[in-house]
Chains A and B, each alone.
Chain A
């Protein structure tokens, strides 16, 4: 299963002759989705919740970037680089799982590492800062629609004047994604997708 998924992900990456363009076919995407699901179930079965969450998270990142261009469409320019990187990340995680397969199957996940003080899990400071910036942008920006991540970043960049402290968009969006997961505020929840299908008459 790992090998099959690695092969499909490699085929998505292509030969890299055209780094600024990437096309994900519907067939390959379907395969990725099904195989990832199997890997996640297998990890959960062996008690590796954190690793299962990692695979799911990295898959969601790929999915978000695929959604920008759409399955079967060619994603170009910087978006292509970002999508390629997300696919490469997922692929390298599956490769690592394959390398440590024996440990995955024989040893259960130890208790999660918690701060010595026993404090509850908190967002890393960098991620918390980005979440704060995003909420400020939502509250203070003069929006007539929910801003895209790029619009919110542009707003923060211009209005908050953080200079070098402001992460680049790629990093900012990644932290925002982490914060959304933490706060349970994902953009693409199953509910929103059902709602979207309903609105589209699907």
Chain B
């Protein structure tokens, strides 16, 4: 896939957004609320892609995208809840650190799954997506 194509693919864009979001683990301690809000903003982008793929008969790919981003959200919810209810300072809380580790792993896996789906999609799948 050429660079110009990769820029226009909403799936690639979503993968890049998630990848950038999880790049700096420290932000999850210092700006947890903002990090959660940023993740929430990707929900609609992901769902637009999922619905678009289903509209175009790509149910298997839609499932893959949906499952990958849902896993990230679930891991993020667990981390956020743990951080808000931690018995001690969250970065010092082993359970909290464990949840963050899992969140980062899940996000890395999701990025890879999204990129794989994008690689396999026929050219032109997202034609008209941005105009809608």
Contacts and interface: CB of A to CB of B under 8 A. Distances in A.
Contacts, number: 79
Interface stretch (B1-9, B19-27, B68-76, B87-95): B68-76
A124 B67 contact: yes
A124 B57 contact: no
Interface of A is mostly: helix
A96 to B, nearest CB: 4
Given A96-B44, A99-B48, A102-B132, A170 B77 contact: yes
Contacts of A63: none
Given A54-B54, A103-B132, A112-B57, A124 B63 contact: yes
A100 B57 contact: no
A192 interface: no
B61 A113 contact: yes
B123 interface: no
Interface stretch (A80-88, A143-151, A181-189): A80-88
Interface string A113-143: 1010000000010100000000000000000
Interface in B32-70: 40, 43-44, 47-48, 50-52, 54-61, 63, 67, 70
Contacts of A100: 48, 51-52, 55, 132
B60 A171 contact: no
A92 B44 contact: yes
A4 interface: no
A111 B58 CA distance: 9
A2 interface: no
B47 A89 contact: yes
A89 B77 CA distance: 14
A110 interface: yes
Contact of B51 (A97, A113, A126): A97
Contacts of B58: 113
Nearest to B51: A96
A168 B78 contact: yes
A147 B32 CA distance: 36
A137 B31 CA distance: 40
A164 B57 CA distance: 34
B82 to A, nearest CB: 10
A100 B75 CA distance: 30
Interface string B92-130: 000000000010000000000000000000000000100
B71 A85 contact: no
Contacts of B61: 113
Given A113-B60, A168-B75, A99 B132 contact: yes
B117 to A, nearest CB: 11
A65 interface: no
Nearest to A81: B77
A157 interface: no
Interface of B: 40, 43-44, 47-48, 50-52, 54-61, 63, 67, 70-71, 73-75, 77-78, 80-81, 102, 128, 132
Given A95-B47, A115-B60, 5 more contacts: A51-B51, A81-B81, A100-B48, A103-B128, A107-B55
